[in-house]
Amino acid sequence: MRKIIHIDMDCYFAAVEMRDFPELRDKPIAVGGARERRGVIATCNYQARKFGVRSAMATAYALKLCPELQLVVGRMSVYKAVSEQIHDIFRRYTPLIEPLSLDEAYLDVSNCSLHQGSATRIAEAIRQDIFNETQLTASAGVAPIKFLAKVASDVNKPNGLFVITPQLMPEFITSLPLQRIPGVGKVTAERLAQQGWHTCGDLQRVPKAQLLQLMGKFGAVLYERVRAIDDRPINPSRIRKSVGVETTFAEDLQDAPAALQQLPALLQELVKRFEKHRSERQINKLVVKVKFADFQQTTIETRSQQIDAGLAAELLAQAIERGAGKAIRLLGVSVGLAPLLLETEDSPEQLTLL
C-alpha cells in the first residue's frame, strides 16, 4: 500500500503578495489583469472568496462582486523562486515528486524512513518546514492513491491536513460527491445527476459498459475512481503535452478579417516558445482556440508536423464560422508535442513558419 501526499499551497500568488506587503493582509485582494485590458483573475485570497471571487473569473465581474477588491500585478519571477524553495523542502523527504504547478505537487513517501515512516507526520513536518522557511501555509492530503490524496488536501483547507487511511477509504469513497473527482466538472456532474447519480456509491452500482456508452473513455476512469482504483505512479518527470499562446483583446474583434490580422503575431510567439523544446520534441498537431464575446469557446485541431501559417488560418476561419457572427474575445494557438523520432534519410524536413 503506497503512501501519497498531495501538497497544495493556500491561495499561493495572493499569499506571497500578502507576505511581502503586509498592508494587503486584511483586504480582499486578487492577482490578475486589469479590467481595462479585459483581464482575468489568476488567484485571490480568502477575504475575496467570501464575495464570490474565483480564479479564472473576468476581472470586471470580480470587481462587481467585490468593489473593494485590490488588484495586484503578478510577479512571476518571485512566485517561481518561492516555488523552488518549497520543492527543495520536498526533496528532503523523497525524490518521488510530481509537480502539478508552482504551488501543487504529489509526493510518494512510501519508502521514507523519517518520522517513523508515518505519512501523516511527514506531511505535518513538510507543512511546518514550508511555514518556517517561507511564512506561507500549505494544505495537505494523505491517502494510498493519488486522486484521493488530492481530494483530501481540500477537505481542511486552508492550512489543514486530512488523512484517508486504507481502513477509512471504502467508507470515504462511497459518500464522496462525484464532482469531487478530478476531471468531473460542472457539465459532467449535471450529466451524471440527470441519471440519478450523485455520489461515488451511486456509480458503484452502474455497469462499466453503461458508463462507457454514456461517457466514452472517461467512463472507464470513473468506473475505477469510484472504486478507489488509481494505480498511476508518481511521475517525477511529467512530459509536457503541448505549447501554446493566447491573448484576450481589450476590445472584441468583430469579424474574421480582424481575427486573421492577429494571427501572425500569435504564431510568431508560438514559434519562439516551441524553440525551447525543438531539440527533444516534435510537433504532431496544430490547434486553434476561439472564445466569443458571450464566453462560449471552441477549439479545432488537425494533424501537422509544423507550425503552418496557412493551415492555422484555415482552422481559425472554421472556428469562427462556429460562432455564427459573434464577436471574438480571445484567440489562441498551440501545438501538440510528441517525442522526437530518430531521423532517417527518408525523414521529412521540418519546415519553418515563414
Range 297-318 average pLDDT:
89
Average pLDDT for the chain: 88
Range 163-179 average pLDDT:
94
Smallest CA-to-CA distance from 112 within 246, 2, 253, 18 is with: 2
Q: Which CATH class is domain 242-339?
A: alpha beta
Is 8 known to sit in a ligand binding site? yes
Lowest pLDDT segment from 29-33, 46-50, 102-106, 273-277: 273-277
Res 289: pLDDT: 93
Fold assignment, 169-225: DNA polymerase; domain 1 (1.10.150)
**Is the pLDDT reported for residue 342 higher than 80?**
no
> By percentage, how much of the chain surpasses pLDDT 70?
93
Res 55: pLDDT: 84
The secondary structure of 68-136 as a DSSP string is TPEEE---HHHHHHHHHHHHHHHHTT-S-EEEEETTEEEEE-TT--GGGG-HHHHHHHHHHHHHHHHS-
Delimiting residues of CATH 3.30.70.270 domain(s) in the chain: 4-11+77-163
Strand pairing category for 138-143 and 242-253: unpaired
Q: Is the pTM of this model over 0.95?
A: no
Delimiting residues of CATH 1.10.150.20 domain(s) in the chain: 169-225
> By percentage, how much of the chain surpasses pLDDT 90?
60
Q: How far apart are CA 106 and CA 5, in angstroms?
A: 6
- pLDDT by residue (tens digit) across 133-147? 999 999 999 999 999
Res 346: pLDDT: 37
Is 26 known to sit in a ligand binding site? no
Res 353: pLDDT: 41
CATH number for region 4-11+77-163: 3.30.70.270
Partners of 213 in the beta sheet? Answer: none
- Please give the single-letter amino acid code of residue 40: V
HSE-CB for 278 with a 13 A CA cutoff: 12
Residue 342, Cβ density class (10 Å: 0-12 exposed, 13-18 middle, ≥19 buried): exposed
Q: At a CB cut-off of 8 Å and minimum separation 6, what does 314 contact?
A: none
Strand pairing category for 281-292 and 328-339: antiparallel
| 104 classed as catalytic | yes
Q: How far apart are CA 146 and CA 135, in angstroms?
A: 27
- pLDDT by residue (tens digit) across 192-237? 999 999 999 999 999 999 999 988 888 999 999 999 999 999 988 6
Partners of 331 in the beta sheet? Answer: 247, 290
Catalytic residue among 104, 124, 246, 314: 104
Res 32: pLDDT: 82
DSSP state for residue 26 in the 8-state scheme? T
- pLDDT by residue (tens digit) across 96-108? 999 988 899 999 9
Delimiting residues of CATH 3.30.1490.100 domain(s) in the chain: 242-339
Fold assignment, 13-76: MutS, DNA mismatch repair protein, domain I (3.40.1170)
Res 200: pLDDT: 95
What is the CA 303 to chain-centroid distance, rounded?
A: 24
Delimiting residues of CATH 3.40.1170.60 domain(s) in the chain: 13-76
pLDDT confidence bin for 11, thresholds 50/70/90: very high
Range 142-164 average pLDDT:
96
pLDDT confidence bin for 187, thresholds 50/70/90: confident
Res 350: pLDDT: 41
